[in-house]
């Protein structure tokens, strides 16, 4: 029973933000939702969202250890 995960508001908020970042990455790169922007710009910002989402997920995982 001592190995329970502490589900704080900060943890839930962090996971929600990672999902939002990954969703933005997906929408920018793989859908036509932002087709008014150039493909190069969409790929750059999609990559930024991907890298930052992975970084945030890593920080959440690292703090949970």
- What confidence tens digit (pLDDT) does each residue in 4-52 have? 666 788 889 999 999 999 999 999 999 999 999 999 999 999 999 999 9
pLDDT of residue 64: 75
Q: Is residue 60 part of a domain?
A: yes
Has residue 46 been placed in a domain? yes
- Residue 31 is given by DSSP the state S
pLDDT at 63: 85
Reported as half-sphere exposure (CB side, CA atoms, 13 A), residue 63 has a value of: 13
Longest dimension (CA), the chain: 53
Average pLDDT in the 45-65 region? 93
Residue 6 lies in a domain: no
In a domain, 40, yes or no: yes
Query: Sign of dihedral through CA atoms 48, 21, 15, 11?
Result: positive
* Domain count for the chain: 1
The confidence score (pLDDT) of residue 1 equals: 46
- Domain span at residue 61 reads 29-65
């Amino acid at each position: 029973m001592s190995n329970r995960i502490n589900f704080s508001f900060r943890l839930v908020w962090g996971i929600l933000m990672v999902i939002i970042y990954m969703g933005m990455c997906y929408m920018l790169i793989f859908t036509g939702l932002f087709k008014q922007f150039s493909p190069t710009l969409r790929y750059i910002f999609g990559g930024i969202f991907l890298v930052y989402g992975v970084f945030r997920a890593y920080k959440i995982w690292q703090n949970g250890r």
